[in-house]
Amino acid sequence: MRISFRAALVTAAAALGLIATSVAPAQAATGYARCASGKFCVFDGQDGQGAMASFSTPQADLGAWRTKVSSVYNHTSYQYFCLYSRTNYQYIDPVHDVELLDSGTNVGDDLYYYHDANSHLDNNVGSIRWAHTARQCEGGPEYLPWDSPDVGDPGTPASFGDLNGDGNPDLLNRTYAGRLYFLRGDGTGTLIGAGWNSMTALTRHGDLNGDGAEDLLARDTAGKLWMYPGNGKGWFGARKLIGGGWNTMTAIQALGDLNGDGKGDLVARDTAGKLWMYPGNGKGWFGARKLIGGGWNVMRAFAGIGDLSGDGHNDLVVSDSSGKLWLYPGNGKGWFGTRKIIGSGGWGPFTTLRGVGDITRDGHPDLLAAQTEAFGEVRFYAGRAGGTIAYNGTNDYLADGDGLF
């Protein structure tokens, strides 16, 4: 029996009097209030009563407490905790084993709730673990173990989306800790570096400096825009400053070549809702910007999808505030033709849209859409002839703080 208990436990626990929010200093602590800050505590009675044991680190084997734990209290700084009926955090037999994924800090939980005809957790806890994310709590890595829907044999490097030149689209994953990972689509991740939480926007779409490798643009908290040149191996060389003042932009999206000169370009929306095109010069920065138009503040998520319409020009996909999804076909001159609706509704929760290249290898660029929240779905949409997309499955789920680029 696998249980993911994601409800607002703090509210429920407070209503039941399980959280020691105020304890009279003259009275001895009782119940859950005995659990010291920074500890994870187990009790042999319900509601934090009876004997108590406290731990500072996850326990692969509770030893003598395996048959005693009747309630628990999370007083650590970690949001998620997992309880297993087996030792060593194992979940092997879905009929008789129990795994509980719980959430909340300063939260107590009685284990007699978790049982069915074949299994129970009360007085049957073999191991306990806590972590920053649900994925890590259940034994997964810090990074998203992304499995591409269709990673084939090495092929010709793609025009965009391919960071290591193996012909397969890749992703970048920034975690809650600010570490940036290269995801090659086979479930593994390679650490690029730390400190990326200082960046308020990241975007990429092909080569910016003319060396044939995909590059990355990132804006820092001071409003400076940086270009990180790709090395064709999945990570980046020394960054180069493009310029300051980019905090006036509420959206920044690399799109590839928009004006037909063969160099990667950029669009950015300012606080007034104006959309600007910054023409790339092929050297890693941009020329004088050109106004595309106003009224873009109604748009939410942006994606540089490539040539979805099939006319040989790069396009833009955006969602609006009403949940619709639009295709803006590039005209090869630096702006767009008449927009076309490609999603009639329901796109509001998907706050991340990413053009991921041609994963399906059918000649049409594909789209990734993610709900940027804990347990948010990562969906894959296959590009189709005529500039449409079709849902092709939910590929994974995000953890707290995950960002995909």
- Secondary structure element (H or E) that encloses residue 383, with its range: strand 377-384
pLDDT tens sequence across 216-253? 999 999 999 999 999 999 999 999 999 999 999 999 99
Give the model's confidence band at 168: pLDDT under 50 very low, under 70 low, under 90 confident, else very high. confident
Whether this prediction's pTM lies above 0.85 is answered by yes
Task: Give the per-residue pLDDT at 153.
Answer: 57
Q: End-to-end CA distance of the chain: give it in Å, rounded.
A: 35
Give the model's confidence band at 155: pLDDT under 50 very low, under 70 low, under 90 confident, else very high. low
Task: Give the per-residue pLDDT at 6.
Answer: 40
CB 73 within 8 A of CB 46: no
Task: Give the per-residue pLDDT at 151.
Answer: 52
Q: What are phi and psi of 160, to 5 degrees?
A: -155, 160
Give the model's confidence band at 156: pLDDT under 50 very low, under 70 low, under 90 confident, else very high. low
pLDDT tens sequence across 340-389? 999 999 999 999 999 999 988 889 999 999 998 778 999 999 999 999 99
Cα 216 to Cα 239, 270, 311, 368, 374, distances in angstroms: 9, 20, 26, 18, 25
Task: Give the per-residue pLDDT at 93.
Answer: 95
Give the model's confidence band at 20: pLDDT under 50 very low, under 70 low, under 90 confident, else very high. very low
pLDDT tens sequence across 89-130? 999 999 999 999 999 999 999 999 999 999 999 999 999 999
Confidence check: pLDDT of 5 > 80: no
- Secondary structure element (H or E) that encloses residue 366, with its range: strand 366-370
Task: Give the per-residue pLDDT at 13.
Answer: 34
Task: Give the per-residue pLDDT at 1.
Answer: 79
Which residue type does 9 have?
A: L
pLDDT tens sequence across 274-290? 999 999 999 999 999 99
Q: In what order do the strands lie in the sheet with 171-174?
A: 189-193, 180-183, 171-174, 403-404
Give the model's confidence band at 395: pLDDT under 50 very low, under 70 low, under 90 confident, else very high. confident
